Amino acid sequence: MHIEEILYTQGFGTRRVCAGLVQQGFVTVEGQSVVDPGEDFAAGGLRFTVQGTPWEYHEKAYLMLHKPSGTECSQKPSTYPSIYTLLPSPLRLRPNKGAVQGVQAIGRLDQDTTGLLLLTDDGQFIHRMGSPKHHVPKVYEVTTKHPVDQSQVDRLLAGVVLDDDPKPVRAAACELAGPLHLSLTLTEGKYHQVKRMLAAVGNRVEALHRSRIGALALPADLAPGQWRWLRAEEVDGLRTARAGQPAVGVDR
């Protein structure tokens, strides 16, 4: 693949801009300067730098972000900064046929909710992860306003009725982790679901943190606001995620 095309697919600008970056000597491949936009390279796993920024070629982008509080999962935020401002420009500008440029968040977390957020430019992956029929489990660490007792846990497991649907909504798992702390697993994603479920049992969410999606847990060393690429085995694990699957491979 031409180096100009490689840069374009990775989000470094239009083809003309990418050709210019090469011609001006701003691109190195495996430590060697490249000045011919038409020079061919094997794209898979190629490591290069653009204006001093190291990069590795990814045909599709799959990444995790530790979402901090006070950010919105929107390209056009209304009140708080967008989570997309936490990502480097190429990830926001990757070309995508017939869709919005760049990676997109898979689902949303409220502005005050923290934790694991997945982003990709793979439309099929977004659909698979967001489809209710796959029941991908998501684990939330909930800090409550009032002490939690076993009766509230039992009600969350049995199912509570929310104000927009007569069908009960159940937690796939729910464990007491302290007087004011629950670990709650859901396999569906309704609007403000955790907060509304806790309200339905007479309590209130004071803080909410998503710690796991499927078998993928948020790494302890990924600080709020930081992101990293997903490894191939992590992507494969998410593709096959089902309810009841334990976390593997990453420490919580």
As given in the structure block, the two tokens for residue 68 are: 């901090």
Query: Is residue 121 annotated as part of the catalytic site, yes or no?
Result: no
Strand partners, 116: 66
Question: Residues with Cβ < 8 Å from 188, sequence gap 6 or more?
Answer: 132, 135, 169
SS3 140: strand
SS3 56: strand
**How far is CA 218 from each of CA 2, 63, 78, 221, 250, rounded to the nearest angstrom?**
36, 12, 27, 9, 7
Q: What is the DSSP letter of 202?
A: T
Catalytic residue among 36, 40, 110, 163: 110
For residue 146, give the amino acid letter. H
**How far is CA 165 from each of CA 161, 168, 170, rounded to the nearest angstrom?**
7, 8, 13
- Cite the active site residues: 110
